[in-house]
Chain A
Amino acid sequence: MTKNFIFTQVFSLGLSFLLLSSVAAVAQVPFERILNADSEPQNWMTYNGGYLSQRHSRLEQITRENVGDLELRWMLPNQVFGAWQSNPLVVDGIMYVTERPNSVMAVDAVTGRVFWKYRHTPAENARVCCGANNRGVAILDDRVYMGTLDARLVALDRINGQVLWNVEVGEVDLAYSVTMAPLAVKDKIMVGVGGGEFGIRGYVAAFDAVTGEQAWKTYTIPAPGEPGHDSWEGDDWQHGGAPVWITGSFDPELNLTYWGVGNPGPDWNAGQRPGDNLYSDSVIALNADTGELEWYFQFTPNDGYDYDSVQVPVLADIDWQGEARKVMMWANRNGYFYVLDRTDGEFLVGKPYVRVNWSSGLDENGRPIPTPQPEGMPTYPGNQGGTNWYPPSFSPRTGLFYFSAWEDYATIYRAEEAEYEPGRAFLGGGFSVLAPVQGAPTIGIGRTNPINNWTDEVGHASLKAMDPQTGEEVWEFEQFDVSDSGMLTTASDLLLTGGREGYFHILDARTGELLWYKNLGGQIVMAPVTYMVEGTQYVSIISGNTLATFALRQ
């Protein structure tokens, strides 16, 4: 019996080798596959599940009727402590997920067992503001791509995890870094740089997918002589921040890539850098082949509140108020929800979704009317924003846009003159979170305490379903703590998300009705993803230091 079994194994292994050698000549994930990601919902091939960044899966095995049958299939613990913000990709049964600071693992998506692990050790002088975060990889053909904390881009062999090339994206001495998952478009790999708290000058750069050679690089702050440069005074532009630290989106018809741009520097002293400070806190539309700027829309001119516009540009072709439109939906950190026309950046609608007091509204062009608060008084939304980088979802079925908002959260800002020193923090002041009584605990950048001793009186989460037609909230689902969790919707009208409390929530995407929840224990600071292998739909979600994968009970 045993002998036979072993014989069978050896025999079939030999057979598979033969099969593999005939398959290997064809690249696994050519651009066309990513382009048509919608037609193979069993895979999750880009950071946001497709170029339009809707995070909407056409899988529908898990439904509102059977959601109670979800069971844990496997868990993969992180070897490194700290917020695990990575978004796994899944292609043909293999999951590619990154781990702090800069490791990549290839994992069997059915069992959770690891095929290979690649470790990159960032240079010792790598500097990031907010933790050794990495949000995942990109895949193209037979290569897996990761940006690193020391501002490099690494290409790995998808099959054995070996380095194919490793190139510089930015100067680590000047505190450039890469935390985002790269975006693979056609024959190029695109990344933006972090460092908005260190006086960098931000940019998006594209690299040849095969050789790693830089193809183009577009700064997010215009140089002297370029349009928009007059939105800066003196030398401020040289260290004005405007990083790009979240993966962009791509419209193949318009051949445009869209990127959210972060805060100007120094963060909290807007008076030190007079002008609109373009293209900080903007969305920029770049030609996918040349990187040329086609249009921009600035959400927060001369920002003094750290309102990075690094949210994911969510794209959809919808009937907007009776007219077919190519829209971009955007719940911004500044507290306003926007709908733009993504062909030219035309402002269609913009409304506050949380309490906003730094501005009294938007004018007809979407420009905010500033109402700065007196010194020492609270500003709404607070420094972490009405929302932040966590990816939203748009369901073409419900026509609604879903995201995590922070309600009743404010901070008191303090501006100080800051002097730029290369590679050093360039902040221009500080802030404190508004608390109900002096000295009470407040919300931090992540959650490490299992006891919520700051309570909802300092802020709490509201998952909002927004109607892009009106810019209004249709329904909300509140949590006691705040949430940095992204969203996933499915064709069975489920909405899946998490939160800092560690609950995995599944709601009806149409109504917001809670269908199922499970306490996974650790903070959930990324969105769930879903995929299918051999007829079984899986859902993976990272809670604390554990990647947990669920499927229906067999």
Chain B
Amino acid sequence: MMINIRNKVRFGAWLLFLNLGGQLVAQELGDHQYTSAAIEAGSRVYSQQCALCHGPNGDTVDGINLRRGVFRNANSDEDLRRVISGGAAEGRMPAFGLSQTELDGVIAYIRAGFDPDGVAVRIGDPLRGQSLFRGAGNCADCHRVNGDGPRTAPDLSEIGAVRTPAALQRSLLDPENALLPINRAVRIVTRDEEVITGRRLNEDTYTVQVIDSQERLRSLIKADLVRYELSSTPTHRPTTFSSEEVADLVGYLLTLRGQ
């Protein structure tokens, strides 16, 4: 019973590179993101103007965690601008007369998760993002949200709670370097010459579990397979959306926080 457990083949382009610190990505992604100079400037504004109430970690006001992107009255960057410039909570959050550069900086600092070396992603209008998700983006063709849509691609109902804005944006712009290895697409040929395509759910030395293109849960014994191929490329290509549209889509995905 000799089993060659490494008989699987990887198909598609196989790229494995490091994203260390995100700076490289930030430069490449251009106007999708705030600059590191803006984040740094924002950190100074924050400590002078905001930290008194919101605390060094942005979590001292009830129901708000700035660093983790939990707000009461805001989703998009535009919302944040409005709240900072106009005040909120019946005057308990005062209006701040910041310059445009200072305002951009504070938002960049918040979006970077208070990390001066972090990546601050532009976040747009969730409603526009939702239309793109269902329409031109074709996202809903494969992804399920709150019980609606196919199950072949990962369910996105909680994606806003489990992914950072930067990771969501990377999935759209550079999917190959955002796809989690477990989610790789598989193509399997059994001894009975059945061809199974789908997405990997789990794997061990002797078996692999997949959801196939008919949404059936299949558990296969590797020794019974003629071919077991894993794709290194995601099923969708990098988006051709404008930076504003990407910001809107990220804005929508961030609202998906489970039931």
Contact = CB atoms under 8 A, between A and B. Distances in A.
B6 to A, nearest CB: 6
B179 interface: yes
A452 B177 contact: no
B5 A480 contact: yes
B206 A441 contact: no
Contact of B181 (A378, A457, A501): A457
Contacts of B206: 503, 517
Contact of B21 (A376, A450, A451): A376
A481 interface: yes
A437 B181 contact: yes
A455 B18 contact: no
B177 A478 contact: no
A551 to B, nearest CB: 21
Contact of A438 (B6, B16, B22): B22
A439 interface: yes
Interface in B2-31: 2-3, 5-6, 16, 18-22
A412 B19 CA distance: 12
Contact of B182 (A377, A438, A455, A515): A455
Interface in A407-441: 412, 434, 436-441
A481 B179 contact: no
A439 B164 CA distance: 9
Contact of A453 (B22, B182, B205): B182
Residue of B5, B21, B164, B181 contacting most chain A CB atoms (<10 Å): B181
A317 interface: no
A527 to B, nearest CB: 18
Contacts of A439: 163-164, 167
A32 interface: no
Contacts of A456: 203
Interface string A439-462: 111000000001111111110000
Given A478-B6, A514-B1, A515-B1, A437 B205 contact: no
Nearest to B223: A514
Contacts of A458: 181
Given A480-B203, A501-B205, A437 B180 contact: yes
A499 interface: yes
A412 B20 CA distance: 10
B193 interface: no
A503 B205 contact: yes
Given A440-B180, A452-B182, A479-B204, 5 more contacts: A412-B20, A478-B6, A501-B204, A503-B204, A517-B206
27 contacts: A376-B21, A437-B177, A437-B178, A438-B22, A438-B167, A438-B177, A439-B164, A439-B167, A441-B180, A441-B182, A451-B182, A451-B201, A451-B202, A452-B182, A453-B181, A453-B182, A453-B202, A455-B181, A455-B203, A457-B181, A478-B6, A479-B5, A479-B204, A503-B204, A503-B205, A515-B1, A517-B206
Closest 5 CB pairs of A and B: A438-B19, A455-B181, A453-B182, A501-B204, A479-B205
